[in-house]
Amino acid sequence: MTADPNSRQDQLIAELHRLRGMGLEVVPVSEKQALVPFKDRPSLPTSKIEAFIRDGEATGLGLRLGGLTVIDIDVPDPSWVTKAEARFGKTDVRVRTPSGGIHLYYAGQLDHPPNLKSEGWPVDFKTGRNQYVVTSASWRADGRSYRVEGSAIAAGALPPIRDNEAASTPIRHRQQGAAKSKSSAAPDAVVAVGQRHDYLVGRGKLLARNAKSESELLDALRRVFEAECDKSTPLETGELEGIAEWCWNLQQKGLNFVPGESYVSMPRWVMEALRGNSRAQHLALVIYQLHGGQPGKAFCLDHKGMRDAGWTDLGRDGFRSALGALLNAGVISVQKQYVRAEKKTRFKLSPKPHSL
C-alpha cells in the first residue's frame, strides 16, 4: 500500500525540527537537488523550509556538513562498509539510501580529505558546510525513502573521523551541532577553554530559534557544553545562564541573526530626499550598509575601490552625480576637505534635518 504523502510530510517536518533543534543546518531538496542556493550562505529559517515541504516542492532535506563527515557508499555491498570502517572508524549512525547505498556519519573534518573515487572506491567523501547529504525521512519520486539503519544522528552519538591510512589525522574543530564520541574525543575535537564563550553564544543563537522557553534553551546549552567543550576549567558563575538569557531575548525581539541574515536599514527621510534618483539611493544604501548608519561617523568614498570591491557598478560620472545629490540633499556632509597628502575627502552621515 502506498504511503500517505501527508504522513511522509509530517515525518519530514518532524525530522527538520529535530535537526534544527540540534543546531544543524539543512537545505530543502527534491530528488537530491537543492531547491535554493546555499553555498557560503546561511540556512533558511525553519519556517521557510517547512513551507517548501508543505507545498510539496521539497521531498527531502539536505544536511549540511559543517563540522561533519559522511562516507557515502554508492553500492549495496557490505564489504565496502567493512572496508570504510576499517579505515575511518566504526559508526552506528547510518542512513540507508533508496538505491541500497549507505551513509556513514562522523564528527569532525579531516584537514586533507581523501579522494576515494581516484583510489577506485565506489565512495564519496563528503564534508564541509557547502556539501550535504540527504537525510532520513526524505523520499524519491518513485516512493522509496531514506531510512535510519542503526542509530539516528543525535547528541553524543557521533564518533570522530580519522584516516588510519594517513600519516596523521588532524581533525578540524566542529562548526555545528555534531557532538563528540561517547568515548574520549581527541583534544583538538573539543572546544578549547579560551574559545568556549564565543562557541556557546553561536550555538545558543541557533538553538534559540527552536527552543520553547529560556529554560529549555539553557538545558540544551548545558548539553552542548558537556558534550563538546573542554571542562578542565569551569565556566564563570552564571556564564551559561547569561548566554541563554541573551540569546533568548535576542530571539524574542526578532534580532537573532546569523551572518548574511541581518537587514540593512535606511531612514525613510533619506529615501524621500532622494526620490527619483536611483543612483543616489543606491549609493546611500551602500553607505548605510558599510558604515552602520551612525551620524557623524567619518568615511571616504573611493569610486575605484568601491567598484573593484563590487559595491557599485556606477561609472565615474554617475558616481560623482550620485555623490553630489547626497551632499545637496543633506544626507552626507564633508567632514574634512580634500587634503593633498591624503588624496581624499572625508564625509560623514548627517542627522535628519529639522526642516523634514
Q: What is the pLDDT of residues 15-53, one digit of tens each?
A: 999 998 888 999 999 989 999 888 888 888 899 999 999
Determine, yes or no, domain membership for 125: yes
Please, what is the average pLDDT of the chain?
83
Q: Same domain, yes or no, for 75 and 201?
A: no
| Calpha distance 200→208 (Å, rounded) | 12
| Calpha distance 204→248 (Å, rounded) | 8
Residue that is last in its domain, among 186, 208, 238: 186
Q: Same domain, yes or no, for 176 and 225?
A: no
| One-letter identity of residue 98 | P
Per-residue pLDDT at 342 exceeds 70: no
Per-residue pLDDT at 173 exceeds 50: no
| One-letter identity of residue 124 | D
Per-residue pLDDT at 189 exceeds 70: no
Per-residue pLDDT at 139 exceeds 70: yes
| Calpha distance 305→45 (Å, rounded) | 34
The full length of the chain comes to 356
Q: Same domain, yes or no, for 118 and 233?
A: no
Q: Same domain, yes or no, for 169 and 205?
A: no
Beta bridge partners of 145: 139
Residues 6+ apart with CB under 8 A from 31: 59, 140, 141
Q: Same domain, yes or no, for 34 and 127?
A: yes
Determine, yes or no, domain membership for 356: no
3 state DSSP class of 243: helix
Q: Same domain, yes or no, for 197 and 176?
A: no
Residue-wise pLDDT tens digits, 82-124: 999 999 999 999 999 999 999 999 998 888 888 888 888 999 9
Q: Which of 71, 61, 44, 54 is closest to 137 using CA atoms?
A: 61
Residue that is last in its domain, among 137, 155, 186: 186
pLDDT band of residue 182 (cuts 50, 70, 90) is very low
Task: Decide if 188 contacts 173 (C-beta within 8 A).
Answer: yes
Determine, yes or no, domain membership for 257: no
Q: What pLDDT is attached to residue 166? A: 72
For the segment 299-327, the average pLDDT, to the nearest whole number, is 87
Q: Same domain, yes or no, for 222 and 333?
A: no
| Calpha distance 56→17 (Å, rounded) | 17
For the segment 230-236, the average pLDDT, to the nearest whole number, is 85
Q: What pLDDT is attached to residue 175? A: 43
Determine, yes or no, domain membership for 329: yes
The number of folded domains in the chain is: 3
For the segment 275-289, the average pLDDT, to the nearest whole number, is 91
Q: Same domain, yes or no, for 146 and 247?
A: no
**CATH number of the structural domain spanning residue 288:** 1.10.10
Q: Same domain, yes or no, for 72 and 41?
A: yes
Determine, yes or no, domain membership for 50: yes
Determine, yes or no, domain membership for 115: yes
For the segment 292-318, the average pLDDT, to the nearest whole number, is 82
Q: What pLDDT is attached to residue 240? A: 93
Residues 6+ apart with CB under 8 A from 288: 264, 265, 266, 270, 349
Cell numbers that stand for 101 in this block: 547505498
- DSSP calls for 150-198: SB---TT-PPBP--TTSS---EEPP-SS----SSPPPGGGSB-GGGHHH
Task: Decide if 67 contacts 172 (C-beta within 8 A).
Answer: yes
Residue that is last in its domain, among 226, 252, 278: 252
Determine, yes or no, domain membership for 354: no
| One-letter identity of residue 115 | N
| Calpha distance 253→238 (Å, rounded) | 22
Q: What pLDDT is attached to residue 340? A: 58
Q: Same domain, yes or no, for 112 and 237?
A: no
Q: Which of 93, 99, 97, 127 is closest to 113 using CA atoms?
A: 127
Spacing of C-alpha 275 from chain mean position: 36
pTM over 0.75? The answer is: no
| Calpha distance 39→208 (Å, rounded) | 23
Determine, yes or no, domain membership for 258: no
Per-residue pLDDT at 315 exceeds 70: yes
Q: What pLDDT is attached to residue 138? A: 96
Q: Same domain, yes or no, for 28 and 173?
A: yes
pLDDT band of residue 354 (cuts 50, 70, 90) is low
- State how far the alpha carbon of 149 is from the alpha carbons of 45, 62, 81, 189, in Å: 28, 18, 13, 26
Q: Which residues span the domain enclosing 239?
A: 193-252
Task: Decide if 68 contacts 107 (C-beta within 8 A).
Answer: yes
Q: Same domain, yes or no, for 296 and 236?
A: no
3 state DSSP class of 23: coil
Tell me the chain's radius of gyration from C-alpha atoms: 25
